[in-house]
Amino acid sequence: MTMADVIIRQATAEDADDIYEIENLCFPDPWSMDALVYELSDNPRAFYIVAELNGQVVGYAGLWWIDDEGHITNVAVKPGFRNRRIGEGIIGVMIDFTSQEGIVHHTLEVRKSNTAAINLYKKFGFRTEGVRKKYYLNNGEDALIMWRHGE
């Protein structure tokens, strides 16, 4: 597999089942199917992309569009497809597209212990600018608040 084999495209409501499956595989507190369907169908501020490999959705990212800020809500790559630069491709496409559309600042929260994700975000210019204490419900872990400020 090369990144040329991966298709990154805007998500549609038809992707909800695949995104829900990835949510449940990747997160201890996954979003509900209803929440995902709302995000993909009815939330005018939401923008989601998926990564496909051989017709299978293997990753996704979501963002809420608020004026010139993009709040990245979730980034996930299906187990078994990690460490293949798919996450890097997803983040790159998300930032490139939304920056062209007028987003100047991107932000996200990430588990303090998620070194792999933190290092990935740093590659794209994200820096830690704060901490949300006991942010994660399943274990009370802190979240780092990371920002990327555009030109």
Our answer to whether residue 136 is catalytic in this structure is no
Phi, psi values for residue 77, rounded to 5°: -125, 130
For the chain, the C-alpha Rg in angstroms (whole number) is: 15
Instruction: Point out which residues pair with 7 in neighbouring strands.
Output: 52
- Residue tagged active-site, from 109, 136, 141, 151: 109
Our answer to whether residue 39 is catalytic in this structure is no
- Residue tagged active-site, from 88, 121, 141, 151: 121
DSSP string, 50-85: EEEETTEEEEEEEEEEETTEEEEEEEEE-TTS-SSS
Gap between the terminal Cα atoms of the chain: 34
Using CA atoms, how far residue 18 sits from 39, 52, 54, 55, 59, in Å, is: 14, 10, 14, 11, 9
Active site members = 109, 121
